Structure 1
Amino acid sequence: MESFEKPILRVENLRKQFGNGCDSCKDLKPNRLNKNYCPVCGTIYACQDISFEVFPGEILGVVGESGSGKSTMMKCLYFDQEVTRGRAYISSYKNGKENIFEESSQQKRYIRNNVLGKVYQNPLLGLKMDFSSIGNIAEKLIAAGNRKVNEMEERGKKLLEHVNISTLRMKEPPKNFSGGMQQRVQIAKALSNNPPILLLDEVTTGLDLSVQANVLDLIKKIQHELGISMVVVSHDLGVIRMLADRTIVMLNGSVIEKGLTDQILEDPQHEYTQQLVYSLL
């Protein structure tokens, strides 16, 4: 049995900057930066040396306002963007000994297709809107090396049922579906290769409240049934309260507070987190 003391994902000093930096800003001293921006050379530090861990079967919440760096961090973790520097280790990949940011593009593709699943805020980024829904799932399976058509069809059906989409509609393209259904197809696709870690980026933003509730219930159900670890990014503390075991709070590209979700919501320490929590009450 896997030890719950050993993190499944460990991220250390993840930095993402846009610009080369200068002597004034490269050591990231807060008094040299205007929020996350260097007034001397114009470099933007979207992620300022972020570190965190995710444990097996845990949901880690990441909360912060727009521009806090949380989506950039998710893009770096899924290799949608290159990191400037930093390390990340996944326990089920090469025994957690290799920094995934330094792996070859071929290995990064392998990690994307087999070890991580991602659900994007905008379904257009995660789905091919003109493919059938089951075709979208097959695409991820093929990318991971599956060539057995019957097996893929069986897996696709099972996953669509799992996310409450009728098999009668599995040949329909996601462009025919509502926003909530598109998110559910994305979740099915992300789960197709049983990844140990799922990355969810603002998956309920823009959905009606009742649809949001359905998607959140589905995420809880999946986590409960599959014991999958998740990183859930949201600017909505209500979402984080419902889903996350532990939470990190981001502001201007930095982690300013971390802890058990209940603890952060009941006794926030940082002034910004206090404002966030009181705005929810």
Structure 2
Amino acid sequence: MFEEALLHVCNLNKQFGSGCSQCSNPSSRMLEKNYCPACGTVYACQDISFDLFPGEILGIVGESGSGKSTMMQCMYFDEEVTSGEAFINDTTLEGENVFALSSQKKRYIRNNKYGMVYQNPVHGLKMNFSSVGNIAEKLIAAGNRHVADMEQTSRELLESVHIPLFRMKEEPQYFSGGMQQRVQIAKALSNNPPVLFLDEVTTGLDLSVQANVLDLIKNIQRESGISMIVVSHDLAVIRMLADRTIVMLNGSIIEEGLTDQILEDPQHAYTQQLVYSLL
């Protein structure tokens, strides 16, 4: 499909709790879903491995509690992984496990290599900054110091996500949910990242607004060729956006493949249930 992965993730594990004799050994864990009834440890991500290729949209689907958002938070360094490796195909980071880097280097990756759009815009935007100020904050973090350039970039980005320019000095707290998500997308794209993470970006939006946001994401991907990881519990969103799809349940990957293949011929009973609920 593509020659070399842009992002390679290997055996990502994230647990909340210290574990006990009943759950510490992966081969003999006795869990209820991904929870240890003996000590209360939650195994949110268990041996997650995948590749993201240049220009690809990878969908991650699963019910609430399946571990998909925790995985995304680990990738963006909002959470520390318990164990695992991730490698970015970039000359400045050649062969370096990004999970093991210093906080300074992780900050560099967040500011220059990654963009993130959160489910709740409050986590991605400063609600009492102007829209332009939010984008400038990301540009400054990536090393930009030229005010006129930053304002021009902000205007272009806000225009590209259909925010009226007469509102660019307004604070996102006064915007609708759909507009807040579009400002978040503009901010995430401001440093031209090769990888964009989208975590449940249409949850809580009206159907017509959802469709607009999804169209916008698709158009951005088509025009820029950026690689994206899209997390959703909604298979309809994944069907519209993703080239390949990973299905997660109880912290583990249970199925993966081309999105059409997953939708037309699901193998795992849980995936079958998901697909049939969409029909």
In structure 2, which of residues 123, 132, 135 is the aligned counterpart of residue 134 of structure 1? Answer: 132
Please state how far the C-alpha of 1:89 moved relative to its aligned partner. 0.7
SS at match of 2:26: coil
Aligned to 1:87: 85
Tell me: CA distance 1:30–1:133, structure 2 relative to 1, closer, same or farther (3 Å): farther
Tell me if structure 2 keeps the 8 A contact 1:93–1:115.
no
Q: Give the residue type in structure 2 aligned to 1:29.
A: S
Please state how far the C-alpha of 1:30 moved relative to its aligned partner. 6.5
Alignment deviations for residues 24-66 of structure 1 (CA, whole Å, 9 cap, x no partner) = 3223236622110122322110001100111000000000000
Within a 5 Å distance, the mapping from 1:78-227 to structure 2 comes to 78-92=76-90, 94-227=92-225
Work out the number of aligned pairs and report it. Answer: 279
Tell me: CA distance 1:30–1:254, structure 2 relative to 1, closer, same or farther (3 Å): farther
Aligned to 1:277: 275
- Looking at structure 1, the residues matched to 49 and 147 of structure 2 have their Cα atoms a distance apart, in angstroms, of 41
Greater shift in the superposed pair: 68-77 or 87-96 = 87-96
- Looking at structure 2, the residues matched to 272 and 88 of structure 1 have their Cα atoms a distance apart, in angstroms, of 28
Q: Give the residue type in structure 2 aligned to 1:177.
A: F
Tell me: CA distance 1:139–1:93, structure 2 relative to 1, closer, same or farther (3 Å): farther
Tell me: CA distance 1:117–1:127, structure 2 relative to 1, closer, same or farther (3 Å): same
In structure 1, which of residues 19, 24, 28 is the aligned counterpart of residue 26 of structure 2? Answer: 28
Tell me if structure 2 keeps the 8 A contact 1:64–1:249.
yes
Please state how far the C-alpha of 1:23 moved relative to its aligned partner. 3.0
Tell me if structure 1 keeps the 8 A contact 2:22–2:29.
no
- Looking at structure 2, the residues matched to 100 and 73 of structure 1 have their Cα atoms a distance apart, in angstroms, of 14
Aligned to 2:239: 241
TM-score by length of 1: 0.97
In percent, how many aligned pairs have the same letter?
74
SS at match of 2:203: coil
Alignment deviations for residues 125-171 of structure 1 (CA, whole Å, 9 cap, x no partner) = 00001100010000000111111000100100010011011111110
Tell me if structure 2 keeps the 8 A contact 1:200–1:230.
yes
The runs of 5 or more residues in structure 2 that have no matched partner are none
Tell me if structure 2 keeps the 8 A contact 1:25–1:33.
yes
Aligned to 2:57: 59
The runs of 5 or more residues in structure 1 that have no matched partner are none
In structure 1, which of residues 238, 252, 255 is the aligned counterpart of residue 253 of structure 2? Answer: 255
Alignment deviations for residues 172-204 of structure 1 (CA, whole Å, 9 cap, x no partner) = 111111100000000000000000000000000
Alignment deviations for residues 79-137 of structure 1 (CA, whole Å, 9 cap, x no partner) = 00100000001112635410000000000000000000000000000000110001000
Tell me if structure 1 keeps the 8 A contact 2:132–2:155.
yes
- Looking at structure 1, the residues matched to 94 and 202 of structure 2 have their Cα atoms a distance apart, in angstroms, of 31
Q: Give the residue type in structure 2 aligned to 1:180.
A: G
SS at match of 1:140: helix
Tell me if structure 1 keeps the 8 A contact 2:11–2:85.
yes
RMSD of the TM alignment (CA)?
1.2
- Looking at structure 1, the residues matched to 122 and 25 of structure 2 have their Cα atoms a distance apart, in angstroms, of 37
Q: Give the residue type in structure 2 aligned to 1:118.
A: M
- Looking at structure 2, the residues matched to 173 and 88 of structure 1 have their Cα atoms a distance apart, in angstroms, of 36
- Looking at structure 1, the residues matched to 163 and 223 of structure 2 have their Cα atoms a distance apart, in angstroms, of 18
- Looking at structure 1, the residues matched to 212 and 88 of structure 2 have their Cα atoms a distance apart, in angstroms, of 30
- Looking at structure 2, the residues matched to 196 and 104 of structure 1 have their Cα atoms a distance apart, in angstroms, of 21
- Looking at structure 2, the residues matched to 218 and 253 of structure 1 have their Cα atoms a distance apart, in angstroms, of 30
